[in-house]
Amino acid sequence: MNNAHSLLTTPFTPRSTATDVIEGRDLHGKRVIVTGGSSGLGTETVRALASAGAEVTIATRNRASAQFLVDEFSARPEAGQIHAVTLDLADIASVHAFTRAWEGPVDVLIANAGIMAIPTRQLNERGIELQLATNHVGHFALATGLHENLAAANAARIVAVSSGGHLLSGFDFADPNYNHRPYDRWTAYGQSKTANVLFTVGVTQRWASDGITANALMPGWIPTNLTRHLDDDTMRAMGALDENGKRIVQPHYKTPEQGAATSVLLAVSPALEGISGRYFEDNQEAKPVPAGDGRTAGVAAYALDPESADQLWEYTTSIV
């Protein structure tokens, strides 16, 4: 894959909302799956897509947590129907059960769910570090399990919610689960987010002939429950908490609806037709940047590397 291309630009800004991005779109007849759609960015992503008429399935660990959205849209006959289905991304058996039960095409799969900065090393039942298991491996198993359903949609899209945190770490193929190196919650998170981007490159290399495209994104800095594993001292060091324990909303923070805009852009915008294997932030394609110098914006070359994408695809296939 040659990453030398003109960066795609759109008329939207960092402060555009999901509603702005989807304005004028009619998604009736489209079927969308959003993982982690019952809170934060996922909720606003679901709202935007269903408001435009899409049938949206929220895949979440706690099905009851999505009931408020099901109820909200059941009273809106002009909108798309919302379903809630149980899915635990860290449990491959749960993912397989979801994909076996699914019937019919999938027009858009939004890999939105994630966890961040778990303080101590935790493994799932297959020995996979929990951030990697949840953020990447579970989504990989979901997408590959739904491959035929995505292909049946003709021009299906996969949207992977990554993070500027991918700049913290490439993918360590020698020791991805911290069996031999000291566990660090931030490099573990960064590795999982790099994997999200590499996955979209892998999809581009393997599934283009099926009409399936995949792109990754950084949603921005948004106060959501993704920070639930961070202690108060860490939050203060990030400038997100004052000495009295009150959340500080920084000027660069986005609202959840603004944060969901780039996800919705990649999911439905005509500008993304045929575009695949790229990384976006603030509703624009991001510039490649050198990693390891404290940057929080842009995309690292290692996250778009086709050979690494191949290697990751083979590694992940072997464990799912």
pLDDT of 252-280, one tens digit each?
Answer: 689 999 999 999 999 999 999 999 999 99
pLDDT at 115: 95
What b/e readout covers 132-150, taking b as 16+ CB neighbours within 10 angstroms? Answer: bbbbbbbbbbbbbbbbebb
Residue 89: pLDDT over 50: yes
Average pLDDT over residues 224-238: 49
* Weakest mean pLDDT among 165-169, 203-207, 221-225, 300-304: 221-225
Percent of the chain predicted with pLDDT > 70: 88
Vertex 92 angle, CA 139 and 154, to 5°: 40
Taking a C-beta distance cutoff of 8 angstroms, is the pair 116, 149 a contact?
no
pLDDT at 1: 42
CA dihedral sign, ordered 304, 305, 307, 313: negative
Residue 240: pLDDT over 90: no
**Which residues, at least 6 apart from 266, have a Cβ–Cβ distance to it below 8 Å?**
157, 159, 215, 217, 272, 280
Average pLDDT over residues 186-192: 96
Residue 86: pLDDT over 50: yes
Residue 212: pLDDT over 50: yes
Q: What is the pTM of this model?
A: 0.91
The amino acid at residue 229 is: H
pLDDT at 229: 45
Return d(Cα 237, Cα 270) in angstroms, integer. Answer: 41
* Weakest mean pLDDT among 229-238, 239-248, 256-265: 229-238
Q: Give backbone dihedrals phi and psi of 105, rounded to 5 degrees, phi first.
A: -70, 160
Tens-place pLDDT, residues 286-312:
999 987 667 778 999 999 999 999 999
pLDDT at 147: 98
291 or 11, greater pLDDT = 11
CA distances to 116, 219, 259, 271, 301 from 167, rounded to whole Å, are 14, 14, 19, 26, 10
Q: What is the rounded average pLDDT for all residues in the chain?
A: 92
Tens-place pLDDT, residues 113-139:
999 989 999 999 999 999 999 999 999
Average pLDDT over residues 92-117: 97
Return d(Cα 187, Cα 304) in angstroms, integer. Answer: 18
Return the active site residues. Answer: 189
Vertex 202 angle, CA 201 and 203, to 5°: 90
Residue 4: pLDDT over 80: no
Tens-place pLDDT, residues 18-62:
999 999 999 999 999 999 999 999 999 999 999 999 999 999 999
Return d(Cα 140, Cα 132) in angstroms, integer. Answer: 11
Return d(Cα 196, Cα 149) in angstroms, integer. Answer: 21
pLDDT at 182: 98
What order of strands is seen across the sheet that includes strand 284-285?
A: 82-86, 55-60, 31-35, 108-111, 157-161, 213-218, 279-281, 284-285
